[in-house]
Amino acid sequence: MDLPKLAIAALGGTVSMQARHAGEGVIPTVSGESLLALVPELTNMARVTVETLGLMPSASLNFEFLLSVLSWANYQVEQGAVGVVITQGTDTLEETAAFFDYLWNHDAPLVLTGAMRSAGQVGADGPANLLDASRVALAKNSRRRGVQVVMGAEIHHGTTVRKTDSLALQAFSSPMVGPSGMLLEGTVHYLREPPRRNPLPLPQQTSQEIALLESTLSADSLLLENILELGYDGLVIAGFGAGHVSDQWADAVEKIAKKIPVIIATRTGSGPTAQSSYGFIGSEMDLIRRGALMAGFLCPRKARILLWLLVGGGRQDDLGVFLAQD
């Protein structure tokens, strides 16, 4: 029997972390090859290619490095891989999942996973997550679904998944919509049809900077008022409630929106921004009149990534179309 080809890349993160000495904190030390050795079942499921592309905490990943990982993943599919798995840290997993999903233009699945318990910890979840992620990547019903995150036997789509707990084993969820699927007795089951996708071309430049600020009670506007002078190319605000800011911030937003794109998202963690419910100064209706765009269901962090990619491709004028899709 000719086994399908599966490509796995290791970037680091908790799944690769161990303590060098007792009493010390864990650090990335375990390679992709060593992770694969912990899951011998995979050799009976696929012809596996594994590479260690990095050993770093996910907080230290950046867009340019992720573009190089994407190039590696594209090459694996071109060489016949039916699916690609990437292991990384969970701190930024929700953001890298969105980044890749906006750019992934293959029918073959790209699956991200990690671990909440380090490699040397009793009950480490990394091997089970890697096995589940590989099952998802190899499943025929995973095709044309873009980027998925697999953690704790749940499957979440890259644009909806969030890390909603700092340390719990079940740290990931998709607010409002729930998981897109799950693994039951080693079989991949999806709960809904594949989402409509409109992948972006690779950005033509990577030097653009997008600011992300959060509205807070009685916040000053010093940083906000200096966004243009600081050289930012776009701004995302995590607003109160359904996408609101103070009257002082509203005046600053109007000036900024005349020069660069401004997106207003909600800081609440669940639910969309409004469009036509509130009319006070700083409300969503007021901010729209001042030139800002509302993020809808898109969280502030993913909105920043979308804006970075659009500005990098010279497509910031299409921002409203992509926000309407999300």
| Domain contains 177 | yes
- Is 278 in the same domain as 308? yes
Q: Are residues 184 and 249 in the same domain?
A: no
Is it the case that residue 132 has pLDDT exceeding 80?
Answer: yes
Write out pLDDT tens, residues 270-311. Answer: 999 999 999 999 999 999 999 999 999 999 999 999 999 999
Residue 87 lies in a domain: yes
The domain that holds 297 is classified in CATH as: 3.40.50.40
Reported pTM = 0.97
Determine, yes or no, domain membership for 77. Answer: yes
Helix orientation angle between 93-103 and 300-312, rounded to the nearest 10 degrees: 40
Of residues 306 and 325, the one with the higher pLDDT is 306
Supply the pLDDT for residue 326.
61
In a domain, 75, yes or no: yes
Q: 3-state class of 71 per DSSP? A: helix
Q: Is the pLDDT of residue 94 over 90?
A: yes
Same-domain status, 113 and 229:
no
User: Is the pLDDT assigned to residue 9 strictly greater than 70?
Assistant: yes
* In a shared domain, residues 159 and 217: no
Domain of 183, CATH number, reads 3.40.50.1170
In the chain, the number of structural domains is 2
Amino acid 22: pLDDT? 79
pLDDT of 1 over the 70 cut: no
Mean residue pLDDT of the chain comes to: 96
Assess whether 102 and 10 both reside in one domain: yes
Q: What is the residue range of 127's domain?
A: 5-190
Mean pLDDT to the nearest integer, 83-90 = 98
- Comparing CA positions, the residue from 239, 158, 226 lying closest to residue 194 is 158
Q: Do residue 181 and residue 272 come from a single domain?
A: no
Is 233 among the domain residues? yes
Q: What residue ranges in 164-282 does DSSP mark as E strands?
A: 172-173, 181-184, 187-190, 210-214, 234-239, 262-266
In a domain, 195, yes or no: no
Which residues on adjacent β-strands are paired with residue 198?
none
My answer on whether 160 and 255 are in the same domain is no
Is residue 197 a part of any domain in this protein?
A: no
